[in-house]
Chain A
């Protein structure tokens, strides 16, 4: 199958699971809205299993550098064996290995869906997710890595991710020179017009845009996902977090981010925030979905 990999890429807490839930509902309508049947994404432990299956050695025996160098060959093998689209949840920034190869081989990647969310809301949600103070979370979003992020002294369930700072992450995927077709979606726009947003995603992936899409979008509404987590838990919830699905809205940072922390986030991320229409007051400029990103010759071009 030609270029079967679809990367659903984002900084953490920017709608990645939401998008996966909708796509899962489209692919298997019988599981629509069941958060513990989101099987697409090759995330968490399944990424390690896939790596161990395709690589010639187990990731658990390799240094982080060796894993990085081996990843392109693993993704090429995954693509070579694929009979359908393979969705990969990605929090990494787009990058090349020290050998110069793209971690995700461009010839194997059909489409990147890049999701962004206002960094103030990301900070509030990510802090809850990690079980860290909001101050520490803001430092992590600025690119600092506490020791536990490093994989030299323990075996993390998933493979180590190299997500970079919030800005580095966005810039890496939205750089017009990267060799992927990138559809950039803002979380805020997706909330304003869920169906319209997911229609764009479905069209980019040649997935159904009829009633099945509407049903999948409705089944994956944040309130339904939250209710589903309350009822039956969520297998992807980290133990550091009481609940994975929270408010899921915009301006969720109020009462959590001090003026000083907001100023830090703006200082660290000003250029990218401006490019994406994210205001220093935490709002996001309204704009038509089809204006804020455009695809030209299979490449991404972000319109200021």
Chain B
């Protein structure tokens, strides 16, 4: 959890005063998000600084962890006016700025991240990348959770799984450790990995890049009820003005080597601004 305090508590309120019910499980008002998941627990993310967790007795720790690092972490970042992007984040060897690869689940982001790691790229984050502005420029933050890879992806990449820790009990999905001992790094490019025909297309316009960032904002349903819509659009607009972006088709169709080659090509794109 990035710079936030996580406190385990016995109970949390059933109702969050003044909050809007968002879906079946979430209550949200500006500054606070309460998530109640049956048989797992309650999570209260407040003011971008604190998450209180009240697990149900006997809850699966893996499930508690999933909501803590998923919906609760996203709420903290949204509350701070940062951008949790549904993307992995990679730095090419000798690169000055990193490339975020976003895409919906199943497009192959993590497998591609593992392939690039094998090629000597640094993997800053897998699945969700924290992006914030520093002196008005977008920076991507490292996470320390490793790449989550399914058994079949490990087999394709010829990675033995015997010594890897499973992500969840009951799932043949593993944390593949990658070292990312680094400061936040400048985000230079965002690429969307899609299931469409193979090919790489650059997005020349800012509105297209904004749409891409919005499309892959993690837990975007939280933004408006948190009262952060205006700030979110400003943030996305600022980032979109300072990155190159593109669409990489061929997810689940092209080989991971072909996708990796395309990403090498992206790494050669001329940066928009330094």
Contacts and interface: CB of A to CB of B under 8 A. Distances in A.
Contacts of A152: 170-172
B137 interface: no
A155 B150 contact: yes
A58 B167 CA distance: 13
Interface in A146-167: 152-157
A58 B170 contact: no
A108 to B, nearest CB: 12
A157 to B, nearest CB: 5
B26 interface: yes
Chain B contact patch, size range? 20 to 34
Given A45-B106, A73-B23, A153-B152, A56 B168 contact: no
A63 B152 CA distance: 16
Contacts of A73: 23-25
Contacts of B224: none
Contacts of A155: 105-106, 150
Contacts of B151: 153-154
Interface string B15-30: 0000000011110000
Contact of A154 (B23, B104, B150, B167): B150
Interface in B66-119: 66-67, 70-71, 104-106
A167 to B, nearest CB: 29
Contacts of B171: 63, 152
B120 to A, nearest CB: 26
B150 A66 contact: no
B168 A48 contact: no
A73 B36 CA distance: 12
A52 B67 CA distance: 13
Contacts of A66: 63
Contact of B23 (A52, A77, A156): A77
A57 B71 contact: yes
A260 interface: no
Contacts of A242: none
Binding site of A, secondary structure by majority: helix, strand, loop or mixed? Answer: helix
Contacts, number: 71
A155 B66 CA distance: 17
B144 interface: no
Interface string A32-70: 000000000000010011001110111111110110010
B163 interface: no
Contacts of A45: 104, 106, 195
Contacts of B105: 48-49, 52, 58-60, 155
A35 B171 CA distance: 35
B134 interface: no
Interface in B195-209: 195
B35 A56 contact: yes
Interface in A84-142: 99
A96 to B, nearest CB: 15
Nearest to B151: A153
Contact of B170 (A48, A59, A63, A77): A63
A57 B221 CA distance: 12
B252 A157 contact: yes
B106 A157 contact: yes
Contacts of A57: 66-67, 70-71
A198 B148 CA distance: 46
Contacts of B66: 57, 61-62
Interface string B130-155: 00000000000000000010111100
Nearest first, the 10 closest Cβ-Cβ pairs linking A and B are: A153-B172, A73-B24, A153-B151, A154-B152, A60-B105, A77-B23, A56-B71, A63-B170, A57-B70, A61-B66
Interface of A: 45, 48-49, 52-54, 56-63, 65-66, 69, 73, 76-77, 99, 152-157
10 contacts: A45-B104, A52-B105, A61-B66, A61-B148, A66-B63, A77-B23, A152-B172, A154-B152, A154-B172, A157-B252
Given A63-B168, A66-B63, A152-B172, 16 more contacts: A45-B106, A45-B195, A48-B105, A48-B106, A53-B220, A56-B23, A56-B25, A56-B70, A61-B70, A62-B168, A63-B170, A73-B23, A154-B172, A155-B150, A157-B106, A157-B195
